[in-house]
Amino acid sequence: MPGLSFQKTVSYCELLSSTLKPQLEEMPHLKDESESLDALIAELKGLDSQQMALKGRLQEIIHQRQNAERRGQTLRSRIGAQLQGKLGFTNENLVSFGINPRKAGRRRRPAQPTEEKKGTAKGASAPSTTTSP
């Protein structure tokens, strides 16, 4: 029965089987097919229960894998931090461990106050500090 869902297929087979059984006395030539249909229904239900059990197991395995990934990431971060502490944050040897070193950038010098530059640039005379007698 292509195009039907699994549950519909099973329910149609069960309906056919339950309707056919009372008619087997009048149609004995369908007895073998009826038995095959009952066996098929049992097989389908068994496969469905196996599939459900495997889906549950799959979910369990997925959660175990995700927990292992989180533990691995935490462990990797701790080891990386210890390597950076030991070798230095800018050490190029960190690359061999899969850790990107920090770039050693130049620090900018603090800007000089602009007020002093403006006062001397205008040529303003500073008050004299000498005392005359």
* Residue 109 within a domain: no
* Residue 130 within a domain: no
Q: How many domains does the chain have?
A: 1
* Residue 90 within a domain: yes
* Residue 118 within a domain: no
pLDDT tens for the chain, 133 residues long, are 467 899 999 999 999 999 999 988 999 999 999 999 999 999 999 999 999 999 999 999 999 999 999 999 999 999 999 999 988 888 888 999 888 888 876 677 777 776 655 555 555 555 556 665 5
Report residue 58 as tokens.
């799959």
Q: The pTM is what? A: 0.54
Contact indicator for 34, 17 with CB cutoff of 8 Å: yes
* Residue 62 within a domain: yes
* Structural domain of 36: 6-102
SS3 of the chain: the string is CCCCCHHHHHHHHHHHHHHHHHHCCCCHHHHHHHHHHHHHHHHHHHHHHHHHHHHHHHHHHHHHHHHHHHHHHHHHHHHHHHHHHHHCCCCHHHHHHCCCCCCCCCCCCCCCCHHHHHHHHCCCCCCCCCCCC
